[in-house]
Amino acid sequence: MTMSNTTQSAIEYTEDGLRIEPEAFVKQLPNLSYQQGVLTIEAVSADDLVKHYGTPLYVYSKQTILDAYHAYSDSFAAIEHQVCYAVKANSNLAVLKVLAQAGAGFDLVSAGELARVLAVGADPSKVVFSGVGKTAAELKAALQAGIGCFNVESLSELDTLNTVAAKLGVQAPISIRVNPDVDAKTHPYISTGLKDNKFGISHDVAVAAYQHAQQLEHLNIVGIDCHIGSQLTEIDPFVAALDKVIELIEALKHVGIELEHVDLGGGLGVLYIDEEVAKVSEFAAALLPKLQQLGLKVLFEPGRSIVANAGILLTKAEVLKPTKHKNFAIVDAAMNDLIRPALYQAQMAVIPTHSQSYANAHTSADDKPNEKSWDIVGAVCETGDFLAKQRLLSLAVGDVLAITGAGAYGFVMSSNYNSRPRPAEVMVAADKHQVVRQREKIEQLYELESVFEG
Ligand SMILES: *Cc1c(COP(=O)(O)O)cnc(C)c1O
């Protein structure tokens, strides 16, 4: 069979499942390669990482994070802009520090995230605070830190913020998150810009909301924002949202409200398996003419597209359980470590850390275990505990697999379910590697607990 492009030759859907050609597949991912048959992130081999730190293990490439950030800052260099990395995608201090040093601002959704960005010395004026349920205490902490903008999501939040700001004797810079009611064509759980979502203020009452804000003495209107969803592969929904927002900016001008910035949120998708994802440069090309005409400063809040493909999760096959109907590969990572497959039915690539073509060339055919269709599952006592289903792989107990695209919404969504200590996180830069979060110890799982004395 002749294949016309890399994606097709890397991925093959068969009746028995999905076959990924590891060497062709990683060519599409930044800073991942096979060197002498061993998966290598930047210049560090998976073998070395496993030897030093064990499994399961999250590994992040510093260079990939920087390159992804610069894809935005370079693509929008023609206009005044600020990239505010969405901390919730991966909030490890090492990740935040790399981005802060590169000049990124941050998009927060909690006081915990505020503390993290302050801990790495982020410039508070480049920080925006999103989220539907900010508490008065969180608003206060962010006002005291002097953040750049509150992305307000309800009338009630406007009032609370005004009260908190009045008590502190300060002005709160605000933008209102409007809900442009465009279909982001993504998974319903991560689509946020439709009328029936809990997020933002609907388009038709937005002007009234701004007029309400204008009455409140301790609010200072600076912008408007929207965020329509996550893992968007197409550009059209962003353009449609921008058009709706521009309409509102015009309507606000008519009632005498002038803005300084427009914040287009995050949401650009990434390649997990074979998605055809718009590049940041294409995204910029579609938006720039409209933004240039608008003449406002532009903010972006990308999360996934900065860190997803900077990360892999290394996990070891502990138990192989072929049965008549299904073959289970039980690995040492589970849904508590990486919940995207279980929560969103997300498809993530699982590749061997030792590529088969190299193995084939160096061992006799009889030595290599036969390829089978495996469900890659964890050890958690839930049927929903799977990392991937029906993957064609040659597996032996002890083999280490890599799940790619694990840098975003990976570790941050992990839990201790089944009293499983969370994995360590490691950052790699060129041939250097360092733990940036230690593997949790079993004692730590219950250090905040006590038995009832009553
Ligand atoms: C989650 C979120 C983002 C980041 O979304 P990605 O899809 O990771 O780019 C940005 N802004 C807001 C308000 C969010 O909730």
Same domain assignment for residues 92 and 57:
no
Whether 230 is in the pocket of ligand 1, judged by its Cβ within 6 Å, is yes
Nearest CA to 359 out of 402, 403, 393 is that of 393
Identity of the amino acid at 315: T
**Over 50: is that where the pLDDT of 446 sits?**
yes
Pairwise pLDDT comparison (447 vs 366), residue with the higher score? 447
Q: Give me the number of domains the chain comprises.
A: 2
Same domain (yes/no): 206, 79:
yes
- Would residue 84 show up in a list of annotated catalytic residues for this protein? no
Do residues 427 and 312 lie in contact, with contact meaning Cβ atoms separated by under 8 Å? no
**Which domain, by its residues, includes 21?**
5-61+308-446
Q: Are 41 and 48 in contact (CB under 8 A)?
A: no
Please compute the mean of the pLDDT values over residues 93-118 and round it to a whole number: 98
CA distance 188 to 340: 14
* Span 169-188, average pLDDT: 86
Please indicate, yes or no, whether residues 222 and 313 belong to a single structural domain of this protein: no
| Mutation choice for ligand 1 from 130, 179, 197, 238, CB with most ligand atoms inside 8 A | 130
Same domain? For 254 and 315 the reply is no
What is the rounded distance in angstroms from the CA atom of residue 146 to the CA atom of residue 143? Answer: 5
Q: Are residues 291 and 319 in the same domain?
A: no
Domain boundary among 252, 287, 304: 304
Backbone angles phi, psi at 312, to 5 degrees: -130, 155
Tell me whether residue 452 is in a domain.
no
356 confidence band (pLDDT: 50, 70, 90) = confident
> Is there a cis peptide before residue 56, judged by omega within 30 degrees of 0?
yes
CATH number of the domain bearing residue 319? 2.40.37.10
**Domain termination site, one of 304, 339, 355:** 304
Hunting for tokens 């938006």 — which residue is that? 287
My answer on whether 250 and 355 are in the same domain is no
For residue 211, what is the domain's CATH number? 3.20.20.10
Are residue 416 and residue 297 in the same domain, yes or no? no
- Going by C-alpha positions, the residue among 177, 147, 146 that lies closest to residue 263 is 177
Burial class (CB in 10 A: 0-12, 13-18, 19+), 258: exposed
User: 371 - beta bridge partners?
Assistant: 394
Contact 380, 334 (CB under 8 A): yes
Atom of ligand 1 nearest to the CA of 303: 8
| Nearest residue to 299 via CA among 115, 106, 108 | 106
Choice from 88, 177, 186 to test ligand 1 binding pocket (greatest atom count within 8 A of CB): 88
Instruction: Tell me, letter by letter, the H, E, C secondary structure of the chain.
Output: CCCCCHHHHHEEEECCEEEECHHHHHCCCCCEEEECCEEEECCEEHHHHHHHHCCCEEEEEHHHHHHHHHHHHHHCCCCCEEEEEEHHHCCCHHHHHHHHHHCCEEEECCHHHHHHHHHCCCCHHHEEECCCCCCHHHHHHHHHHCCCEEEECCHHHHHHHHHHHHHHCCCEEEEEEEECCCCCCCCHHHECCCCCCCCCEEHHHHHHHHHHHHHCCCEEEEEEECCCECCECCCHHHHHHHHHHHHHHHHHHHCCCCCCEEECCCCECCCCCCCCCCCHHHHHHHHHHHHHHHCCEEEECCCHHHHHHHEEEEEEEEEEEECCCCEEEEECCCCCCCCHHHHHCCCCCEEECECHHHHHHHCCHHHCCCEEEEEEECCCCCCCCEEEEEEEEECCCCCEEEEECCCCCCHHHCCCCCCCCCCEEEEEECCEEEEEECCCCHHHHHCCCCCCCC
- CA dist 424 to 272, 414, 427, 434, Å? 22, 12, 10, 10
* 252 falls within a domain: yes
Listed residues 270, 304, 338: the one ending a domain: 304
Q: What confidence tens digit (pLDDT) does each residue in 119-173 have?
A: 999 999 999 999 999 999 999 999 999 999 999 999 999 999 999 999 999 999 9
pLDDT of residue 182: 85
Rounded Cα gap, residues 302 and 307, in angstroms = 9
For residue 118, the tally of other CB atoms under 10 A from its CB is 16
In the set 84, 149, 226, 381, the catalytic residue is: 381
- Ligand 1 centre to CA of 265 (Å) is 6
**Any ligand 1 atom below 6 A from CB of 303:** yes
What are the tens digits of pLDDT across the range 298-330? 999 999 999 999 999 999 999 999 999 999 999
State the closest ligand 1 atom to the C-alpha of 267, by its place in the atom list counted from 1: 7
pLDDT at 246 (0 to 100): 97
Q: Above pLDDT 90, what percent of the chain?
A: 88
Q: With a 6 A CB cut-off, is 237 part of the ligand 1 pocket?
A: no
pLDDT in the model for residue 41 = 98
Is residue 49 one of the residues assigned to a domain? Answer: yes
pLDDT surpassing 80 at residue 197: no
Ligand 1 pocket test, candidate residues 85, 113, 225, 230, most atoms within 8 A of CB: 230
Q: Is 229 near ligand 1, meaning CB less than 6 Å away?
A: no
200 touches ligand 1 (CB under 6 Å): no
Q: Is residue 193 part of a domain?
A: yes
Q: Which of 374, 376, 375, 371 is closest to 333 using CA atoms?
A: 376
Q: Which residues touch 70 (CB under 8 Å, ≥6 apart)?
A: 102
Provide the residue type at 182 as one letter.
V
Q: Is the pLDDT of residue 7 over 90?
A: no
Q: Is residue 272 part of a domain?
A: yes
Distance of alpha carbon 280 from alpha carbon 77, whole angstroms: 12
316 and 298 assigned to the same domain: no
Ligand 1 within 6 A of 89 CB? yes
Residue 188 lies in a domain: yes
Q: Are residues 128 and 274 in the same domain?
A: yes
Give me the pLDDT at residue 4, please. 44
- Phi, psi at residue 437, to the nearest 5°? -155, 125
Could you tell me if residue 451 is inside a domain?
A: no
Residues 112 and 248 in one domain: yes
pLDDT at 2: 39
312 CA to centre of own chain: 13
For 423, list phi and psi in degrees, rounded to 5. Answer: -65, 165
Question: Is there a domain that residue 453 lies in?
Answer: no
d(CA 167, CA 172): 12
pLDDT tens digits for 252-264?
Answer: 999 999 999 999 9
- The reply to whether 368 and 423 lie within a common domain is yes
Does residue 241 share a domain with residue 129? yes
